[in-house]
Amino acid sequence: MRMTHIMLSKGFGGAERSFVDTALAMSARGHEVQAVCHPAFKGKEKLEGIRGVRVAPVRVLGDWDRLAVRRIRAKLKAFRPSAVHTQLRRAAKLGGRAAAGAGVPVVAKLHNYADLSCYRDVDVLIGTTRHQVDYAREHDWPEDRLRLIPNFSRVPAVEEARVREARTARRLLSYGRYVPKKGFDLLLRAFAALVEEGRDLQLTLGGGGPEQDALSSLARKLGVSDRVRLGVWIDDVSSALDQADLFVLPSRDEPFGIVMLEAMARGIPIVTTKTRGPSEVLADDSAFFASVDSADSLLEAMRTALENPGDAVRRAQCALEWYRRRYCEEAVIPQIEALYRVVAVSES
């Protein structure tokens, strides 16, 4: 099949990871892929030079950019895909409009709880969780144009979860965009409290974003700046996870959380807040849960995980097995391929 994938943001987070990974997975299965993205997209180099992938940069000024619609439509007419797959609201709005004008069916992944009026040119909407599917139903999205297909990760799964090698300092890891909803300020406060208890810990907080200066200032104020690595861009996710003893997802809002899948794949114990995505993917036998927006609850969950390594490994093993059954590439990509075929046939 010939597929066009569209992502029009510049940064690199979970949705952008989904765009890149889906394009790479499809090309690896022998499909021809056109990847339409912003010229300044931070993940563009991950697609360039890959056999079967044609990167097609398109300048976009905003949701209102009619010229961008024309540019995308020209790319589609030149490539002639069987279907288009968009990621996030802007791609669905502009890419959907362009595809409609080119007579190409559109599949869109709903990563969050966006205004569905932006998806009016989409033929089939993918919800990654039951809650997202329910959201679409509640907003009158037709049932026959709705699918539940979870996110996936291309991070290879380890053979089994294990107790990490003994070392002086225990290593904690988290990463993502530095914005308030990710809750990294809560993680710093909980981490500082654990250090205050006399624990020898190190924290790597990978990523970047508008809150970086504020987080650095908070780490200094809490007296843990010498134990925290901030602003670290993590290219090799597997290596970073393999060097950690505990992964923490402190989000105030997390519709899914692809980073969670990556931790599951590498068999690392997980502490997460009870946000929508993690609460649906994980359970009490596969992770340690904390209340949303509570540094005290996060502290308690992290303390429990650190003080009970045997239980932590058992939960990590359960999460790893669940990842293999439901969230790895081999489990999810066939579902997406099948949807492409249905959409392409129905429009032919």
CATH superfamily of 2-152+331-347: Glycogen Phosphorylase B; (3.40.50.2000)
CA separation, residue 208 to residues 61, 77, 147, 236, 238 (Å):
23, 37, 33, 16, 19
Q: One fold for both 2-152+331-347 and 170-327?
A: yes
What does the pLDDT look like over 6-16, one tens digit per residue?
999 998 888 99
- Does residue 168 surpass a pLDDT of 80? no
170-327: what CATH class? Answer: alpha beta
* H or E element, residue 258: helix 258-265
**pLDDT the model gives residue 169:** 76
**pLDDT the model gives residue 346:** 62
How many helices (H) and strands (E) would you count in the chain?
13, 13
pLDDT band at 63 (very low <50, low <70, confident <90, very high): confident
What does the pLDDT look like over 294-340, one tens digit per residue?
999 999 999 999 999 999 999 999 999 999 999 999 999 999 999 99
Domain ranges in the chain?
2-152+331-347, 170-327
What does the pLDDT look like over 212-258, one tens digit per residue?
999 999 999 999 999 999 999 888 999 999 999 999 999 999 999 99
**pLDDT the model gives residue 166:** 64
**Percent of the chain having pLDDT more than 90?**
91
Q: What is the pTM of this model?
A: 0.91
